[in-house]
Structure 1
Amino acid sequence: MNTASKKILIADDDSSIRLVLSQAFSRLGYQVRATGNATTLLKWVTDGEGDLVVTDVVMPDENVFDVLPRIRKERPKLPIIVMSAQNTLLTAVNAADAGAFEYISKPFDLDDMTAAARRALSRPADSEAAKAQARAMKDERLPLIGRSAPMQDVYRTIARLVGADLTVLILGESGTGKELVARALHDLGRRRDGKFVVINLAAVPRERVESELFGRGEGDPGKLVEADGGTLFLDEIGDMPLDAQSRLLRVIDGAEPALNPRTGRKPNVRVIAATNRDLRGLIRQGLFREDLFFRLNVAPIRLPPLRDRTEDIPDLARSFLLRAAREGLPSKTIDQSALERLKIHPWPGNVRELENLIRRVCALYGEDLISARIVERELAEQSAPQPGEEGPITLSTLVERHLAAHFAEQPDGVPPVGLYDRVLEEVERPLIRLTLAATRGNQVRAAEILGLNRNTLRKKISDLGVELARGKK
């Protein structure tokens, strides 16, 4: 790439930032033009100047998020790197939604900034793969990933709660990212300078929950005091014993007499709880205090299971691949057929299950490109019953495995047309054959068991080519 032919437009109201970036890009051979306001930037872009925009969010005249839609309208293929000292989930999400190539938080590493600029200027402007990779690089640094409608609801709720100090109850299946949401609320909120203290109540013996929370005496003040000034995250709150629930209720109500020995005052904490259990059902069973539930449920956040946001799976998978590479695992890419196979898996373990699968594939397979065949092999091994496991495998599970393998075998992950009728035939033929065998060829009885008219059964026998025992009609 001829850097001298590339021009970078810089917009930041901080003159020192403009100077540092201008010098760095000039040393690399790029042409540079810098401004301290959004109006000038928009004029340059409208005039056709620049091959890349590097811009701050908050400018003296306009917020850049109000300007980006106009830039995208004028120059839809112009890459934009957004930088901001407002290092929040919403800033990152807004940058992604506005079509930014990269989001970089301030203070930034100059090498990271120049590397992002190189990627932006070297990408094929109309390459979908390049766009997906760029999006994954943004997503990999976000606490939460996904642009689906269910996740947008979660983001909006988080945005409303980060500035408040309300008690929050996070609801969702195991592996949906409840702790990530709790950390986002802490890191983006007014208590970000305090500690984020976690207790997984499902992992603490019931007889030790109170001492874990409130301490064991001198030298061990407990997690409540440790979280003073910050956030106390109680994971799997549904596993908390009733006596500990009573003391937690007093903490939330301000009636708990426990003191921080360093300050002599009651600990000031924000309580965030999470559960994958039905707390109302536990209340009916007498296992959870109703008054505590109402105190915790002031601001609920419901996290969708992965099967309800399958459109996020490609972004999640790509970001997990990048994360795995950053952590020392082999760098890999994933093809479209593999992504389509991932999208039809039910994901009982949700996002955690997907990330574990991606890590396993990176560690165990030598191929640089993850194919549908690799994904299918891993999913099949993952769902295969282990020695000592109890419980029958359902017909639905067997059919799904068979169909998943069939999809994976296709060159582009898509079977030929007419799949529905072919699948029905494959199921109907053994069903009718086995039913006739059980009734020793008695078609009247077989039709009754199947719930079919006898003439319908006779036609299916003929159409499907089901062989009858000799002498049986």
Structure 2
Amino acid sequence: MSGTVLLVEDDASIATVIRSALEDDGFTVDRCDSIEARDRLLAAGKYDVMLTDVMLADGDGIATIESVRATCPDMPLIVLSAQNTLDTAVRASDTGAFEYFPKPFDLDDLVRAVSQAVGSGAKRGEEGQAGDGLPLVGRSHAMQAVYRMITRVLRNDLTVLVLGESGTGKELVAEAIHQLGHRKSGPFIAVNAAAIPAELIESELFGHEKGAFTGAIAQAIGKFEQANGGTLFLDEIGDMPIEAQTRLLRALQSGRIRRVGGRQEISIDVRIIAATNRDLKPMIAAGRFREDLFYRLNVVPIVLPPLRERVEDIEALTKHFLGLAAREGLPERRIDRSALALLEQQAWRGNVRELQNAVYRLALMARDDVIDAPTVAAVLGDTSDTAVAGQDDGLRSALAAWLAEHAPAQGTLYHRAIAAFERPLFEHALKQTGGNQLRAAKLLGINRNTLRKKLGELQLNVDDFAQGG
């Protein structure tokens, strides 16, 4: 592959790695580290694609894209950013960016995207303005994949199927797509298929005419008509009765509905987003879910990770929920590192919803402004191995017993005690976290680089603890 690339990146080490990879693939790369230098290079020459960081020394790389578009309206743009939030992904999408890569990224994926951008001659997308109060929180790699999928469906009406366990935030994804997309001025209507009796679900979706059935004393407008011009979110679609699935499929195929008891077909213009916590493929095999409906809904699947696969987001989520709790009239609270470490050890089978409920309970019942580990243990119960206070008592007892037995000579007490307890301490952290280095580092209250260094010194292999957490 050949082509000319302008790389705008103020981190010299990252720029060197990117440049080397692109040049190995046949590209010619010019690199600069500021908006001012970028504009000079663009004025002096033509590039096939530009890669730009967001936070540069002299400004915001995304906020100044309009001047780039004025100079090079057809040049594909790839955004690189360490500011890994949904807001950043949406801002990149709003510039018409060809692709967005949160740092750290896979270098092979980046080179592949540059090749595709050069080959496509990608045009500028529609302009837009990112909304405030974005509903999704988290900067983990798992959530970055979700953000990238969301940005790809904002300016089209492709049907989206959101998959994930209960409590992962499927409705929030649907709301984000609506709020940030081109239908944001229209209504967002949500309907939970699991909460509606089977005999009423068709009336709920399509409406009914007066006298259509016993109790239909007046005409009723269904969710499809209510959502006209906007988005209809069909939650728990896996719980929809098979008979209603047939009518839903017909409505999606034709773009028209008929109220229960009615004769006239009504054209509808809605964007469909469906969600389920069920595995639909076994249900298809068992005849409980229509295969043709599945394919109609599963145009763009977005898979939400469970909280246990994005533990690094628990701190941000907890602080976010404490802020929400305060705005809803609960006491303002802060949380310390020991309490967060305890929260990060939990299974959270109810996912983000369970965490939010737990944080609200902590905000209500904590006696001090700062929530600590004993408070978490007291309010939420035995959230780990008999809670942190018990662990601290056990460590103190073990140290006292060791001192009584060994009676180290004068001047060697500190070093001998550390040598005796350091390895078991790191082994305990790895066992508690199943060998997950990020979680182990947070549990110990040290950074990941320090953990790796100590594991090397102690000759501890994380793979030996992979099943221990």
Query: TM-score normalised by the shorter chain: which range applies?
Result: 0.5 to 0.7
Determine whether 1:251 maps to 2:227.
no
The alpha carbon displacement at 1:91 in A equals: 7.1
2:386 matched to 1:402? yes
Contact 2:203-2:259 at 8 Å conserved across structures: no
Q: Does 1:375 align with 2:376?
A: yes
CA shift, 1:227, in A, is: 0.7
Select the residue among 202, 206, 216 that pairs with 2:208: 216
Instruction: Report how far residue 183 of structure 1 moved.
Output: 0.7
Structure 1 window deviating more from structure 2 (237-246 vs 361-370): it is 361-370
* TM-score with structure 1 setting the length: 0.56
Distance in 1 separating the partners of 2:164 and 2:89:
29
Q: Which runs of 5+ in 2 are unaligned?
A: 1-33, 41-56, 70-76, 104-127, 211-218, 397-420, 430-469
Q: In the superposition, relative to structure 1, how do residues 106 and 182 fare at CA in structure 2: closer, same or farther (>3 Å)? A: closer
Say whether 1:61 aligns with 2:53.
no
Aligned residues: 312
d(CA) in 2 for partners of 1:296, 1:177: 19
What does residue range 182-331 of structure 1 map to in structure 2 within 5 Å? 182-217=174-209, 219-254=219-254, 256-258=256-258, 265-331=266-332
Which residue identity lines up with residue 315 of structure 1 in the other structure? A
From 121, 128, 147, the equivalent of 2:139 is 147
Is 2:159–2:271's contact at 8 Å kept on the other side of the alignment?
A: yes
**C-alpha separation in 2, matches of 1:57 and 1:254:** 42
CA contact (8 A) 2:160 2:273 kept: yes
CA-CA distance at 1:377 after TM superposition? 2.2
Residue of structure 1 in register with 2:149 after alignment: 157
- Please give the alpha-carbon distance, in whole angstroms, between the structure 1 residues aligned to 2:330 and 2:360: 8
Query: Are the equivalent residues in 1 in contact too, given 2:80–2:100 (CA < 8 A)?
Result: no
Percent of paired sites with the same residue: 44
Aligned partner of residue 178 in structure 2, secondary structure: helix
Q: SS where residue 374 of structure 2 aligns?
A: helix
- Superposition RMSD in Å: 4.4
Structure 1 counterpart SS, 2:362: helix
CA contact (8 A) 1:305 1:350 kept: yes
TM-score normalized by the length of structure 2: 0.57
Q: 1:69 to 1:349 in 2, by over 3 A?
A: closer
The offset of 1:61, in angstroms, is 2.4
Amino acid at match of 1:322: G
The residue that corresponds to 1:13 in the other structure is none
2:346 aligned partner = 345
- Counterpart code for 2:375: I
Following superposition of structure 1 onto structure 2, how do residues 13-28 of structure 1 map, counting pairs within 5 Å?
Answer: none
Q: Are the aligned partners of 2:91 and 2:129 in contact in 1 as well (CA < 8 Å)? A: no
Structure-1 separation of matches of 2:220 and 2:90? 35
Is contact 2:187–2:228 with CA below 8 Å preserved after alignment?
yes
Given residue 269 of structure 1, which amino acid in structure 2 is its aligned partner? V
User: Does the CA contact (< 8 Å) of 2:333 and 2:370 recur in 1?
Assistant: yes
CA contact (8 A) 2:377 2:387 kept: no
Match of 2:424 in 1: 418
Structure number with greater Rg is 1
The separation in 2 between residues aligned to 1:357 and 1:165, in whole angstroms, is: 37
SS in 2 for 1:170: strand
Instruction: Give the equivalent residue in structure 2 for 1:6.
Output: none
Residue in structure 2 matched with residue 357 of structure 1 by the alignment: 358
Change beyond 3 A, Cα 1:199–1:379: same
State how far apart, in whole Å, the 1-side matches of 2:319 and 2:326 are: 11
Task: For 2:147, give the aligned amino acid.
Answer: Y
* Closer/same/farther in 2, CA of residues 238 and 167 from structure 1, 3 Å limit: same
Q: Secondary structure at the match of 1:202?
A: helix
